[in-house]
A and B are shown apart, each in its own frame.
Chain A
């Protein structure tokens, strides 16, 4: 049995870097597209509503692992010769856009209708109505769920390991195979995830409480 020394820990931290990078890309990309999904989902246009509802249903009704596999092999199929990590990043972006879209739809619909009507009565056009009136309130309502999804996304990036992408979990597998100490290694890997996710979860819980107090 080899021991777990500085080199092994350094290798895990290298993996962590990719976990964080994937999360960040997924969250930012998913945020941009998710906003569009949410706006389309709450648009007055029936076709847009239906299309985005279907998009969300497909991503919420299939495993993230399958989404990774399909996108991973799908981009190669379309003839795009892209890096493995770009394919994985695309998959996470799509996944996050569906979930964030649904979360923010909830937030947008929770804003009282009178707000939209008042904005219309004031003669605000669509962009300003959405940007200055609806979204600031909607995002505040959706903050706890958004943080919750961020935690889910961080944990979800571990599935990239199954596709062969070396992030924290895959790095853990490699180190575990080298040192024959799976328990210690996966305990360390789990601890690293926990240290990142737990503060976020606590923040989310606090945001939810303060929202409840505010609405009382």
Chain B
């Protein structure tokens, strides 16, 4: 018996797939934004003088970075209802993505912050800037500029990770694909097509990141 490829099922439901692409991009953007916030707050906490706070951040980063996203998302999915919080799968997915991306962001941004020469901070003090100003303009901004490439490539990975959110039936590209597969039994065609869609999404994101880089981080300093 020979199998003939038939992409008509995919073509027929392309509108559905494209809509799901938007959802995937939305999940990714929500995850990245929250991850960046977690990253910056985490770095501030990591540098605080309160020891338990520092330890908590380190533990959070190590636990997230050394366990699979699939296990994390399951854990969150089942843990939240136990505390009486009932959220739909898509919101749960955003929380999981934010925590996962946040842990990596902390580690990456910390690397950039640690690389800022001490003299720069001292110069800020000498100029009479207060602590928050020093952190924002002298430490954080150059640090973010320095780690921008690694942070964005981590975010691309986060975008690809959104596909795992299908395991809790969040609304995104892979779960829609699985539904179409169940309806049409065209497994290979469906997955091959959405793999291409993911490739387009990640290439688009890389392009956008490059543009953002040119607009906001180019010299002379903006």
Contacts and interface: CB of A to CB of B under 8 A. Distances in A.
A181 B70 CA distance: 17
A196 to B, nearest CB: 8
B66 A66 contact: no
A97 interface: no
Contact of A63 (B62, B78, B198): B198
A54 B63 CA distance: 34
Interface centre among B162, B187, B203 (most CB of A within 10 A): B187
Contact of A70 (B5, B69, B163, B188): B188
Contacts of A70: 188, 191-192, 195
A195 B68 CA distance: 12
Given A162-B70, A187-B75, A62 B202 contact: yes
Interface in B52-90: 62-63, 65-72, 74-75, 78-79, 82
Contacts of A142: none
Given A66-B191, A162-B166, A155 B67 contact: yes
A105 B13 CA distance: 40
A162 B167 contact: yes
A190 B174 contact: no
Contacts, number: 113
Interface string A37-77: 00000000000000000000010011111110110011011
- For the residues of B in contact with A, the DSSP-based class is helix
B70 A73 contact: no
A108 B156 CA distance: 25
B34 interface: no
B152 interface: no
Contact of B164 (A62, A65, A76, A201): A65
A169 B167 CA distance: 12
Contacts of B194: 66
A62 B203 CA distance: 10
A80 interface: no
A67 B199 CA distance: 11
A112 to B, nearest CB: 23
B157 to A, nearest CB: 9
A155 B75 CA distance: 15
Given A61-B199, A62-B202, A66-B191, A201 B75 contact: no
Given A62-B160, A65-B174, A182-B78, A169 B202 contact: no
Interface of B: 2-3, 5, 62-63, 65-72, 74-75, 78-79, 82, 156, 160-164, 166-167, 174, 187-188, 191-192, 194-195, 198-199, 202-203
Given A66-B174, A193-B67, 15 more contacts: A58-B199, A61-B198, A61-B199, A63-B174, A70-B188, A79-B2, A151-B65, A155-B69, A156-B68, A159-B70, A161-B167, A172-B74, A183-B78, A186-B74, A187-B75
Interface of A: 58, 61-67, 69-70, 73-74, 76-77, 79, 151, 154-156, 158-159, 161-162, 169, 172-173, 176, 182-183, 186-187, 189-190, 193-194, 197-198, 201
Which 3 A-B residue pairings sit nearest by Cβ, starting from the closest? A182-B78, A158-B68, A197-B66
